[in-house]
Amino acid sequence: MWKPFRQLLSKVDYASTSDVLVHAGDFLAKGPHHHSMAILNYMTINNITGVRGNHDQQVVEWRGWINWVSSSKEGLDWLKRTEHHWKVLHGNHPADSRGLDDDLDDFVQSQKDKAPSKDRRWWKLIPAGWKFLSGQYRIAREMSEEQYEYLLQLPTALYVPSAHAFVVHAGILPSDPNYPYYDASRQPLAHIPDVFPSITEKDRLCRGSKFRCTNQLRQAQEMSILTDVPQNRRPWVLMNMRGVKNGKVFRQYRGVFWAKLWNRDMKRCVGYNGELASLDSDDEESEGKPKAHNLPCYPSTVVYGHSASRGLSIKRWTMGLDSGCVYGRKMTALVMGGSRSKHTLEGDGDSPPFLGVDDVDEAGSSSEDDEEDDAEYDFVDGFDDHADDSEDSSSHRPASADTLLKKRKKKKEDGDIVPFGGHHRATIVSVKCH
């Protein structure tokens, strides 16, 4: 991870004095331990902007737990003894190194079984589902206070007003899936926000600049996606979500992939005066599906990581960047602005280039978005994070080779320029991971 990360920064000619580097989370515990520590050190020293991923969150939680247990001398002594016993057996290798998972489970169980009464209370304080002595634990144990503070201050979502874009690790919902997307009383994109204190103020602002008036309304509406959609107020959702089924959010690929919901609603945005209605006609009614309701909004873009098994997934309004550098595939950046793409952010020509980085593989087709989203559920379930509980494994059967070839026949490549937002372009830049 550390080597391809440096190669990628070099390939895009990254300059910390003029460029903005934004990561999409989960840069920890994705490779050798010393790589994680090197990247964490780089991010901390340079105070790189980014969002917190679910693996980063595990490191934060472990550090909080370690600090709590270590506040007691007995607890600290117990930690040191247990860590020493593990090192005697396995040296300095992290407990989640390849081939050591089973050893770790056996070790933990044996330590519990033979623990003296004074130590049993500490074993009981490990939360259910947490993997003691794992890679996340080791990072949490070794990182400095400054590095811990860096992880703590990472938000779960970033909003970039000038690009009308969000950056999250896993995903974000455009509306509350428990209610119709066109419910104006509940859904932020179903009504024009009321942001002006008076009619006089609205007339004054809008008469002076129609763009400024629309932009103010648009930014308020986009912010309300974060504040008024209840699921988006839950950090767990932004760091873990993949599927949505029957109004519930899942970290597995169950129901509909959240990005399909996002792209679907963005296609329904027709502007505040219906000016976008003719740009993207909807054929749902002719296909025998319920008639789509237009929404008084403008489309916005989401950049995310998390879903490594899907590969680089470039849709019209969602940019999925994570496809497994840790598995030996690729790491990719999405570059806006600068000499490489020669595009700047709308209305903000003096802004520095926007650079997003996460683990990425080859690109998926952007011309068959809906069909591809449906098809991919047949073969990606159970591959991400080593932790996708296969509750519905019987309903997720591998697609045939012909189906995969059909859905994957168009690939984005290093150097391709893709649409970003309403008027921008971004360049895909990738390096191989070995």
Query: What is the DSSP code string of 1-36?
Result: -HHHHHHHHHHTT--TTT-EEEE-S--SSSS-HHHH
| Domain boundaries of the chain, sorted by first residue | 56-145, 157-432
Q: Is residue 337 packed enough to be buried (19+ CB in 10 Å), middle (13-18) or exposed (0-12)? A: buried
> pLDDT tens digits, residue range 37-80?
999 999 999 999 999 999 999 999 999 999 999 999 999 999 99
| Lowest mean per-residue pLDDT among 2-16, 184-198, 317-331, 371-385 | 371-385
Average pLDDT, the chain: 81
Q: How far apart are CA 275 and CA 433, in angstroms?
A: 45
222: left (phi over 0), alpha (psi -120 to 50) or beta: alpha
The stretch 216-235 carries a mean pLDDT of 96
Q: Which amino acid is at 405?
A: L
Whether the model pTM is above 0.85: no
Higher-pLDDT residue of 53, 416: 53
- Rounded to the nearest angstrom, the gap between the alpha carbon of residue 319 and the centroid of all alpha carbons in its chain is 10
- Strand pairing report for 49-50 and 20-23: parallel
